[in-house]
Amino acid sequence: MSNPFTSIIKGVVINEISETTTTKTITIKLVNGSMNPMPGQFNMLYVFGLGEVPISISNLYPGKRDIVEHTIRFVGAVTRAMIKAIRVGSQIGVRGPYGNKWPLEEAEGSDILIVSGGIGFAPLRPVVKYIIMNRERFRRVNILYGARTPEEFLYKYELEEYSKIPNSKFLLSIDKPYPGWTGYVGFVTDLIKYTDVDTGNSYTFVCGPEIMMKVAVKKLLERGFRKDKIFLSMERRMRCGVGICGTCQFGHLFVCKNGPIFRYSEIENYINVEGI
């Protein structure tokens, strides 16, 4: 068995897209290895001299196990330096994939509700892609996506495609009024009241700032969504990626090993406790 700490695959950046002033999507070609990541998993990205950070996998490349894509945002010294340093042709180390996945197979035959805010749409983008590729496996699909301003939406070049998914509803929101914006103004969680899904037979996938996810869960439960069918992508500081260092401990669980995707009914006793 390979050592999870030393099995770093060498990669080369073959494409980069500036999504916002603070966010970049990079496509990496793996040079001496391959992987088959699932929606919801993450990799540890390593740049020599800068360090290593966990970043969610933000796209699917079926049949291409030597290609992986990540969307990186300034959230600390390492990611800030990484975004500035990485260019097409840059070498990068990739360790993973780690973590579990969104329960798409379990959700087949049900309605799907996606609630995302800001960079939280990145781990959910593969879910949307999967649904598009396997549309017949799911019933109604509702996608709610919020950002602070129109400029801060990720993947602007794909949003129109998402709005055309058959038997679906795609709603965008921004936090405050903005010149030229004619869509909804308010928090993305406010859009939950406009959803058109069967609350008793719907799987809900939520990712975004933790305060947003807590509010989303509250509103979902008020509407009658089932606790055991609400899934959250949790974020904690990580180092090892395999549940050994303890940095990402979440109650009796580890985000890197048991998550990052958690069923709400599994973590409801932890999520509202300060410091966990």
Task: Return binding residues for [2Fe-2S] cluster.
Answer: 240, 245, 248, 256
The strands making up 184-185's β-sheet, listed across from edge to edge, are 184-185, 168-174, 141-147, 111-117, 202-207, 230-233, 261-263
Please report, in range form, the residues annotated as the binding site. 240, 245, 248, 256
Assess contact for 165 and 141: CB atoms under 8 A. Answer: yes
195 contacts 168 by C-beta, under 8 angstroms:
no
Contact assessment for residue 80 and residue 51, using Cβ atoms and an 8 Å cutoff: no
d(CA 45, CA 95): 6
- Within 13 A of 98's CA, how many CA atoms are on the CB side? 29
Q: What is the CA radius of gyration of the chain?
A: 18
Neighbouring C-beta atoms of residue 80, cutoff 10 Å: 15
- Residue 237 structure tokens: 């500081």
Cα 155 from Cα 122, distance rounded (Å): 9
Residue 249's H or E segment, with its range, is: strand 249-250
